[in-house]
Structure 1
Amino acid sequence: MNRPPPAVLSTPGFPHYGLAWSPFHSNRVALASSANYGLVGNGRLHLVSVGPGPGGVPGLSIDKFYETQDGLYDVAWSEIHENQLVSASGDGSLKLWDVMINDLPIRAWHEHTREVFSVDWSNINKDQFVSSSWDGTVKLWTPDRPRSMTTIHAHQSCVYQAAFSPHQPDLIATCSTDGTVKIFDLRAPAYTPSGPTNNNFTAPLTAAALTVPASGTEVLSLDWNKYRPFVLASAGVDKAIKVWDCRMVKLGPEAAQNPAVGGACETQLMGHELAVRKIQWSPHRADMIASAGYDMTCRVYVLNIPSSVVRV
């Protein structure tokens, strides 16, 4: 069987850090890009369409792009407005864009003091998104407010990613250079916004509901399983992908000192020769996960999960 060649889109001078499919349009993709691999220079937010090319072969085309003063590291589509998306920038800012407007963002926020490395829009509380930064904080936002709703001092060092649980709207998972994965519960009284503005902006909150000692080195990426609540995967510099069940309590001296420490490693997946930069569970299967590494390979793993555990 002859398969058509893959569609290729080139953006010279602007390597990509993040990609997001529109939740409303199956043929619309956003790319967060940075000049000079994000080390120095400006950025671009590309809007890309997927459609039939010559001979009916799928093709990629750039509909438009937005220039930014600093590199972009991530992008997320709004879950409530089909034409809006938010970008995360190296200068510590977040910008909300509307694809129907050509030049400027419709809103901008600048509270982070270092690079914003990830942004995630909640698919349950659809008016909220979360950002994580190298300044060690995670911030909760809504497009209608001029300031963040809540600031969480999640880690003492860089927070590479923060992601909402797809099952529990008030749970956020984070990963960091400190080798841990943490889960924060926004239902805790400390995280409840007390007014129209963020009164905790100058006094970040720190209490994690659970801390998973995921690695002896940096954890660069995480993702929640879409079908198994409280199960997530982490990956990073140790070249391993680890699947955690956060309902399992860790026993031993570490747990005795800190009862919020937990998580049992179900599976460890090896194969990458260098650090794993990104992982993502399949939205269609509970036992499939994909990864991308600094060894310039992408890999797909199928886990051996008992059928009694998988509820699809």
Structure 2
Amino acid sequence: MKVFHCPARHGYAVETSPFISQRVACAAAQFYGLTGCGTLLVLEETEVGLSLVRSTQWSDGLFDVSWSESNEHVLVTGGGDGSLQLWDTANHSGPLRVAKEHTQEVYSVDWSQTRGENLIVSGSWDQSVKVWDPTLSCSLATLRGHEGVVYSTIWSPHIPGCFASASGDGTLRVWDLKAGACRLAIAAHQAEILSCDWCKYDQNVVATGSVDCSVCVWDLRNVRQPVNQLRGHTYAIRRLKFSPFRPSVLASCSYDFTVRFWDYNQKQCPLLDTLEHHSEFVCGLDFSLHVPNKVVDCSWDETLKIYTPACLSAPTENHGFDTRTT
């Protein structure tokens, strides 16, 4: 395990670079995001640990980060002042552009992955979702329908112009950008939903993580009940991610200080492992897109950690997993 300490900065989100296997970005906030400034950290993994490539300050807390899918130097963050910031790791003078249309905290940003598409989606405490072009000149669309804070927005890795959002109103919504409409609304939990993610291998599978301590895996073709409900966390689930290397494996992190790994195809014992290596809320989580089973997370305990969990170290064929990469 490799650890990076960021004194007086509490981690909210991490994302590995889609271009550079050793690079990771972290969005962090001062004073637990309640007040103070934010910091964007860009780190490089070395043989001996993690080194700082760039540290940039913002006037308010930063709550999410996403790398460009077309430029290895560019990323976007979402801030507590309602703005999105576009950064270039090679430009140290400040953000390339700032867009402020949301009226409350931006809690989620995501860069589209489908071929021929280059868009950003943001979700906010103002209950709206906005879609942007990569210059952040102005939003291309504002989509409303949620009746609570929008905590999570994630593009489909399969279907252009399609993304999912999760909200404090307990619903998961699937949106069609071309139509400018919500195509599907699922009452996924009877509590706030803080995170959602799309399976990298199946366009019909989406997972949600909730304040009710459960992860629900949904087949969008039949949403009367989840494919599986994963229980084990003892506090709210802050973020979840599907593995890019194993179709039925996903990870979740929680306010219970743990990171858990699951195989949702295993109906009886889906929990693969529980890691307790943080001393505060674990808020950020991602899988490497380049190195099988490598994971990065960040916590309010002022640390970011990169590791390979033992439960995923076994050969994939032993578990019947597909070993394709994205």
- The answer to whether the superposition gives a TM-score over 0.5 is yes
Give 3-state SS (helix, strand or coil) of 2:200's partner. coil
Aligned match of 2:105 in 108, 115, 126? Answer: 115
Deviation of 1:77 after TM superposition, in Å, equals: 0.5
* Cα 1:80–1:308 shift into 2, 3 Å: same
**How well do the aligned residues superpose, as a CA RMSD in angstroms?**
1.9
- Please give the per-residue CA displacement for 1:200-220, whole angstroms capped at 9, x wherever unaligned: xxxxxxx42101111111011
Deviation of 1:297 after TM superposition, in Å, equals: 0.5
* Cα 1:236–1:145 shift into 2, 3 Å: closer
Deviation of 1:187 after TM superposition, in Å, equals: 2.5
Determine if the alignment matches structure 1 residue 166 to structure 2 residue 140: no
Give 3-state SS (helix, strand or coil) of 1:140's partner. strand
Aligned match of 2:137 in 146, 159, 162? Answer: 146
Q: Give the equivalent residue in structure 2 for 1:51.
A: 46
After TM superposition, the runs of 4+ consecutive aligned structure 1 residues lying more than 2 A away are: 303-312
Per the normalisation by structure 1, the TM-score is: 0.84
Describe how 1:88-237 pairs up with structure 2 within 5 A: 88-124=78-114, 125-144=116-135, 146-188=137-179, 191=180, 207-237=181-211
- Please give the per-residue CA displacement for 1:54-86, whole angstroms capped at 9, x wherever unaligned: xxxxx1111121110000000001111111101
Determine if the alignment matches structure 1 residue 65 to structure 2 residue 55: yes
Deviation of 1:225 after TM superposition, in Å, equals: 0.7
Q: Percent identity?
A: 41
- Please give the per-residue CA displacement for 1:162-203, whole angstroms capped at 9, x wherever unaligned: 111111011110111110101111122xx2xxxxxxxxxxxx
Determine if the alignment matches structure 1 residue 276 to structure 2 residue 266: no
- Please give the per-residue CA displacement for 1:129-184, whole angstroms capped at 9, x wherever unaligned: 10000001111011235100111013122000111111101111011111010111
Q: Distance in 2 between matches of 1:295 and 1:242?
A: 18
* Cα 1:247–1:305 shift into 2, 3 Å: farther
* Cα 1:51–1:209 shift into 2, 3 Å: same
Q: Are the counterparts in 1 of residues 112 and 119 from structure 2 also a CA contact under 8 Å?
A: yes
Q: Distance in 1 between matches of 2:265 and 2:173?
A: 25
Per the normalisation by structure 2, the TM-score is: 0.80
Q: Give the equivalent residue in structure 2 for 1:257.
A: none
Q: Distance in 1 between matches of 2:69 and 2:218?
A: 27
Q: Give the equivalent residue in structure 2 for 1:17.
A: 12
* Aligned length in residues: 272
- Please give the per-residue CA displacement for 1:2-29, whole angstroms capped at 9, x wherever unaligned: xxxx111100000110101111100111
Q: Distance in 2 between matches of 1:19 and 1:126?
A: 23
Q: Distance in 2 between matches of 1:75 and 1:91?
A: 15
Q: Which amino acid aligns with 2:23?
A: R
Give 3-state SS (helix, strand or coil) of 1:167's partner. coil
Q: Give the equivalent residue in structure 2 for 1:256.
A: none
Structure in which a larger fraction of residues adopt strand: 2
Q: Give the equivalent residue in structure 1 for 2:313.
A: none
Higher Cα Rg: structure 1 or 2?
1
Deviation of 1:263 after TM superposition, in Å, equals: 4.9
Q: Give the equivalent residue in structure 2 for 1:253.
A: none
Gaps of 5+ in 2: 268-318
